[in-house]
Chains A and B, each alone.
Chain A
Amino acid sequence: MTAYNNSALRELVQPDRVHRDFYINPEVFDMEMERIFGRIWLFVGHASQVPNNGDYITTTVARQPVIMSRDRKGEVHVMFNRCTHRGSQVCLEQSGNTQRFECPYHAWVFNTDGRFAGAPYPKGYEDGFLAKEKLDLVKLPRMEIYRGFVFVSLSTDVPDIDVFLGPMKDHIDAFCDRSPEGEVEACAGVFRYRYSGNWKLQMENQTDVYHIMFTHVSTTDEDGKQFRREGAEEDEAGKVKVLAQDSRLDDQWEEHPLGGHRHGHVYMGRFAMDKKNSGPIYDRYKASMEDAYGDKAEDLMTVKTHNSIFYPHWSIQHLTQHIRVMNPISVDCTENIIIPLKLKGAPEEMWHAALRSNNNSHSPSGMVMSDDMEVWVRCHEGLKTQSTDWVVLARGMNENFTGDNTGSYESHGTSESGARNQQVAWVDYMCGEG
């Protein structure tokens, strides 16, 4: 029996504060898995992670092992990594190419589209049993692909993906349209790392401008200037400097645009410190964009958002050029999967710089990410204390924040509106009104 009926769940989230159980209670976590992760669209991967027929990756979705594969006709499938005989995972490689999946236990085989392809010693079954029983690897109840972004749901009863994404679809478009070919490609593998803290601590942090100059102060020099998060300042010779210096970290934060939409989605606008690129490589990029898009090129090349945070568990980091997936493992453990993305058709040097930026900032040794992880772990530990039950998220309460999960809003600066927008959506999902 759960202690959390709907009114108890609502109690956890007040307009300007949340109860610590929201983050640390295992029962709340189990309910989230069922009521949030079990009922909406989740991100699995990018179709370019399986570029060729027979390619596959294994990953987890809401704690469940899955396989994303491309079958011999080129179709992408996402299925549970669980043999339909007695339950063994059929594949443990992180990625590969295969004709079929063969279970290690009794060697049942499945095609790359999941179809059951045979069991040894079939005579041991009653006549017709193998034919009539449903023995294909089980697909996730729903799957949709939008511009290569692969979504699945754990229930068939989910809103239409367009409705769920709403205006966030434009953020996917904006990212892909920076490529002269209109496509992004996940061709450099992934980083994985984990921290001992709740998944929402990170989801909220991604919309938190307030922490940047404090948590990340060690990445600045004596003048308070940080290296560019986006790798691309060119010297005369057209060599990209990966750590070119940027403006002071504390410049103009209060003007920084923030916003969000229904269903818990939020975003940060472009950092004021992010300068425009210039140089011979950039000129080549510009020329290829103009060839592809004509008058629209200039606008499409302008990065307008720093990040786009899709509820409940993934984001596009536009400047550092990666997808970030936050996979909840348990109430106090969260795994990140960082998937760097190449802008297809853009100069190779730009991609190399982006890749190196990701190595520097968002790998397990990342100079940015490691300080973030440190604070989430400390939050999770701190919230275990009985000192007070409440976590205060009142910054920007006095501004025009209309985030009540009915429409879009715009906010700015170091406001905690982003976290609050996620939290009101959380209440609606948890109470079955999402």
Chain B
Amino acid sequence: MLADIEKYLYREVRLLDERRFEEWTDLYTEDGYYWVPAYPNQDDPYKAVSIFFDDREVMRTRLSRLDHPNVHAQKPASRTVHVVSNIEIDENHNVDGEVLVHSTLQMMEYRLDNQTSYGGRAQHLLLKTNDGFMLKWKRVDLINCDSSFGPLAVPF
């Protein structure tokens, strides 16, 4: 099982690095979401601001924007590489058909002579399906979540 999960997570971030955003969005269930809190230790996305808190609709809008010929903030586009590591299955998550996965995540981003690195802990809630997994939610807690950022475009 761990091997399947690793494979799934590696592919998930590779879709981002290859800017296959539509396919990335399609990993999520219809009620799925992607959440990057702007403060540590959050338990509710309605209690504080979030760097990303995207349901499928927002994801689609955001990511189809990145394919627009005049998305100035991404002209030229960023190149990114995501590294997923320290993958652990949550032993305490005992819901039928679900797997909660913890990992560490790094993203290097290069654009216009600037290279930036981000890092944090990720959690994926996966639903088992007949042919693999669906992503119910992904949450990334960046170590610098409450710092002063430059503009961000590519999901972590």
Q: Shortest CB–CB separation between residue B44 and chain A, in angstroms?
A: 10
Interface assignment of A227: CB less than 8 Å from any CB of chain B: yes
Q: Which of A39-47, A102-110, A263-271, A362-370 has 4 or more CB atoms under 8 Å from chain B? A: A362-370
Interface assignment of A356: CB less than 8 Å from any CB of chain B: yes
Query: Which residues of A have CB within 8 Å of B153?
Result: 365, 370
B50 interface neighbour in A193, A359, A367, A370, Cβ under 8 Å? A359
Q: Which of B48, B55, B72 has the most CB of A within 10 A?
A: B72
Given contacts A189-B38, A365-B152, A370-B73, contact A217 B68 (CB under 8 A): yes
Q: Shortest CB–CB separation between residue B23 and chain A, in angstroms?
A: 20
Query: Which residues of A have CB within 8 Å of B148?
Result: 192-194, 335
> What DSSP secondary structure best describes chain A's contact surface?
mixed
Query: Which residues of A have CB within 8 Å of B46?
Result: 352, 355
B57 interface neighbour in A195, A243, A371, Cβ under 8 Å? A243
Q: Shortest CB–CB separation between residue A179 and chain B, in angstroms?
A: 18
Q: Tell me, in angstroms, the Cα distance from A418 to B90 when the chains sit together.
A: 56
Q: Tell me, in angstroms, the Cα distance from A352 to B148 when the chains sit together.
A: 24
B57 engages A355 (CB within 8 Å): no
Interface assignment of A219: CB less than 8 Å from any CB of chain B: yes
Q: Shortest CB–CB separation between residue A434 and chain B, in angstroms?
A: 30
Which of B22-58 touch A at CB < 8 Å? 36, 38-39, 46-55, 57-58
B150 engages A195 (CB within 8 Å): yes
Q: Tell me, in angstroms, the Cα distance from A355 to B51 when the chains sit together.
A: 11
Using a Cβ–Cβ cut-off of 8 Å, how many residues does chain A contribute to the interface with B? 36
Interface assignment of B94: CB less than 8 Å from any CB of chain A: no
Interface assignment of B71: CB less than 8 Å from any CB of chain A: yes
Interface assignment of A375: CB less than 8 Å from any CB of chain B: yes
Q: Shortest CB–CB separation between residue A117 and chain B, in angstroms?
A: 29
Contact with B along A342-374 (1 / 0, CB 8 A): 000000000010011011100111010111011
A373 interface neighbour in B53, B65, B66, B151, Cβ under 8 Å? B151
A-side interface residues toward B, CB under 8 Å? 94, 188-195, 215, 217-219, 227, 241-243, 335, 338, 340, 352, 355-356, 358-360, 363-365, 367, 369-371, 373-375
**8 nearest A-B pairs in the assembled complex, by CB-CB distance:** A364-B149, A218-B68, A370-B151, A218-B71, A365-B152, A370-B73, A192-B148, A374-B73
Query: What would 23 A/B residue contacts be, using CB atoms closer than 8 Å?
Result: A94-B146, A188-B48, A191-B51, A192-B148, A193-B151, A217-B68, A217-B70, A218-B66, A218-B72, A219-B61, A359-B51, A360-B54, A360-B62, A363-B50, A365-B36, A365-B62, A365-B153, A367-B61, A369-B151, A370-B152, A371-B71, A371-B72, A371-B73
